[in-house]
Structure 1
Amino acid sequence: MAEGKIMNLEELHFLGIKVVYKDLVDKGYEVLNVRKELDVNPQILAKKDDEFHMVVVKTGYYPEMGIILPEVIEQVRELGKKHHSKCWYASVGIANANGQTEEEMAKPVVGGEFYINYKGIMAFPEIKVSKDSSEKKS
């Protein structure tokens, strides 16, 4: 495997955002804003057919895919309601294309070649809020 600097979480996350950004543009979305910070959700605000779309992008190292947490779903869903936006989730997995083993594939290198696992934007998964957790919020 070629030597190089292994991507840190921020670099991996930004590569995932670039994958989703390109997909949205290719599908006719007008991307209005992109936030690449790990702790900011959603990452992409886009518009298509006079509707706003908020996209949360989560990226993982091979063999994993990005995972969205229930609290992020709740936060972005509320933001979407407030701004009359549809909410989407994009899970991206990145592998080092030059890796010869599972371990090497799990270490994508900055400026390297990649295998991308991405199936497009998806509707937010439904989350069940237990009665106990909703009582604690009041």
Structure 2
Amino acid sequence: MLAVIQRVAEARVQVAGRTVGEIGPGLLLLVCAEVGDAEAQADRLLDKLLKLRIFSDAAGKMNLSLRDVGGGLLVVSQFTLAADVSGGNRPSFAQAAPPAEGRRLYDHLVAQARRLHPEVATGEFGADMKVQLVNDGPVTLPLRFPPAA
């Protein structure tokens, strides 16, 4: 699975002019399932995300996790993270999981997140979404959890 995590002061997702998910301070997770991914990659990604110490403590050091600060989590599917532009100027998305598999893994990730974290909002899988955010820091981290060999 591929992911980009952004520490945010606030974030929201709109579909057709209506807000479908929003959070205050916390993390925006843009996530993409790739061909060959399974629940194990989603579970590892979520475990890492909830434990990442990327929020500032009283001394201003990145030393606190999302759980420590009680922040929100906004999960947004984004198959374009799998883009391959090495062969030309038009991106190839051949490494992105097929839509049905991507949705299944996204739904699994969201269900697990809701089980493990008190504040989880989402985008809408497969929709044309407008994502608004105020990046805090800015702190933006790419993560990749490939299938086990």
Specify the structure having the higher radius of gyration (Cα): 1
Shared fold (TM-score, shorter chain, > 0.5): no
TM-score relative to the length of structure 2: 0.30
Structure in which a larger fraction of residues adopt strand: 2
TM-score relative to the length of structure 1: 0.32
Structure in which a larger fraction of residues adopt helix: 1
Greater relative contact order (CA < 8 Å, ≥ 6 in sequence): 2
